[in-house]
Structure 1
Amino acid sequence: MKWLRTLVLFDRGEVISSDDWDTVHTSYVRAISSIDHPAGSGTLTLREKVKKPDGQWARNGVGFLRTRFLEFMRDAEGWHAESDVDLSRDRQQPPIKLYPSLEAYREPITSDFGGFDFMTTAPNGTRIAIEWETGNISSSHRSMNKLAIALSNGIVEVGVLIVPSRKLYEHLTDRIGNIGELSGYLSMWEGLKAVVPRGLLAITVVEHDALTTDPAFPYLKVGSDGRAKEGRTKS
């Protein structure tokens, strides 16, 4: 699999110049580059999407890529995967106004955010959260918002979202998030830097190495949930 680029949306406190950021970025890019198909080939080759006689599309599933990335981070790169981060319902909400009374109000937090795909701590103590995008575009937004909240509350100092390029997206099912669909929102996330005491928020873009039209070449396994089924019907 190819690493294309890493977009640093903001950097507070010169995290970008730290040894920890260099170490973790080099490591997870190496893990990305290790993802191959077929296994042992050294490159990620995907079967091109094909429209079937029933009008649905044959595409590659996404779970394999996430699973291999996490395995390489843990087993090959030697990172210790930490337990889920607590984004705490008890954190202080900002004061807002009610209308028409205009009185100050704080809305209670009544929902959980869930953990990150990968949490770890770098050698010099920098806490890092990584999200590998395998959901639809709304999932990408939730991941970015979770990372921003963790950064603004000082829970982590580095937040990374890994997403497919537009070219890779075309051959994956589930209508998953991709850099093309996120590009219009980058300025919004960049603007969150003012509330982060120290931290770095980044998006890393990945892509396949090659495509094949060989009908004997296997697609990556597709899930059976509702979104996967829907993705097979989309163009």
Structure 2
Amino acid sequence: MKIDKEFTLFAKGNFTQSLDFKIIKEEIHSAIQHVVWGSENLFLINPIRKGNGVVPIKKNFVSFLQSKGWLAEQQMTCVNGINPAPIDVIKKISQGVFAVEWETGNISSSHRALNKIAVGIIQNSLIGGILILPKRSLAQFLTDRIGNYEEISPYFTLYQHLDIQNGFIGIIAVNYDEINTEVSIIPKGKDGNAMK
């Protein structure tokens, strides 16, 4: 899988100058490259509108990060007053906890993920986070109404105006390497829009 777009919503304080942050970014980039389908080293997509599932896509991503010491599906309270919720992957470092969410839900889920990261930084539960989601060119071939980069990008200005002294929020938009009508369709889940 390839990174199509990378956008920094904000990067403030000394965290983004640290070796930990440099390693985090390198590991995330490598993990995305390990997301493959229908090939040993490429992510191929069968171009059936709304035909492919989303959950299996992040499997290799999460597995790669776990091999680097990241923790998957960790229950943690990022926002005071809200029960602990699982985060796709986190890395504990000297300055705190860094979270990564890989979008498998609709655009409301994308907003919740960014809000959780932002409030987590404000309340010192997190030092930073990244949301990974598809570009619209990929999303059209995935589960109906999957959150995508173009749909959430108009809201970026909100996060750029947060008054935070130290932390990072970023967005990575991913895309297929190639279209291939012969490749297997990615299986769908059993709930909600996944069946559509």
TM-score normalized by the length of structure 1: 0.77
Q: For residue 186 of structure 1, what is the amino acid of its counterpart?
A: F
Q: Summarize the alignment of residues 35-50 of structure 1 with structure 2, pairs less than 5 Å apart.
A: 35-38=35-38, 41-50=40-49
Q: Could you say which residue in structure 1 is the equivalent of 2:21?
A: 21
AA matched with 1:84: Q
Q: What amino acid is aligned across from residue 57 of structure 2 in structure 1?
A: L
2:60 corresponds, among 68, 79, 82, to: 68
Report which of the two structures shows the higher radius of gyration computed on alpha carbons: 1
Q: How does 1:101-140 map to 2 (within 5 A)?
A: 109=81, 111-112=82-83, 114-122=85-93, 124-140=94-110
User: 1:102 matched to which residue of 2?
Assistant: none
Aligned-partner SS, 1:112 = coil
**Paired position in structure 2 for 1:8:** 8
**Secondary structure, aligned partner of 2:45:** strand
SS at match of 2:75: coil
Aligned to 1:224: 190
1:85 aligns with 76
Unaligned runs of 5+ in 2: none
Counterpart AA for 2:168 = L
In structure 2, the CA distance between the partners of 1:142 and 1:88, relative to structure 1 (3 Å rule), is: closer
Give the Cα separation in 1 of the matches to 2:136 and 2:79.
35
Aligned length: 195
The answer on whether the counterparts of 2:96 and 2:125 sit within 8 Å (CA) in structure 1 is no
Deviation at 1:79, TM superposition (A): 1.8
Looking at structure 2, the residues matched to 113 and 137 of structure 1 have their Cα atoms a distance apart, in angstroms, of 21
The match for 1:33 is: 33
Listed as ranges, the matches of 1:172-187 within 5 Å are 172-187=142-157
What's the secondary structure of 1:222's corresponding residue? coil
CA distance in 2, matches of 1:197, 1:180: 28
Give yes or no for contact 1:84–1:119 (8 Å, CA) kept in 2.
no
Amino acid at match of 2:88: D
- The answer as to 2:151 corresponding to 1:151 is no
Q: Which residue of 2 aligns with 1:142?
A: 112
- Richer in strand (by share): 2
Measured in 1, the distance between the counterparts of 2:171 and 2:79 equals 24
Where 1:117 maps in the other structure, the secondary structure is: strand
Identical columns (%): 29
Per-residue CA distance 1:133-167 (angstroms, 9 max, x = gap): 00000000000000001110111111111111111
Instruction: Describe the shift of the 1:226–1:68 C-alpha distance in structure 2 as closer, same or farther (beyond 3 A).
Output: same
Q: Is the 8 A contact 1:135 1:174 kept in 2?
A: no
- Supply the RMSD in Å over aligned alpha carbons: 1.8
Q: Which residues of 2 match residues 180-195 of structure 1 at below 5 A?
A: 180-192=150-162, 194=163
Structure 1: tracts of 5 or more residues without a match: 51-56, 90-108
- The answer on whether the counterparts of 2:15 and 2:95 sit within 8 Å (CA) in structure 1 is no
1:88 CA displacement:
5.5
The answer to whether the 8 A contact 2:75-2:84 is kept is no
Structure 2 length normalisation: TM-score? 0.91
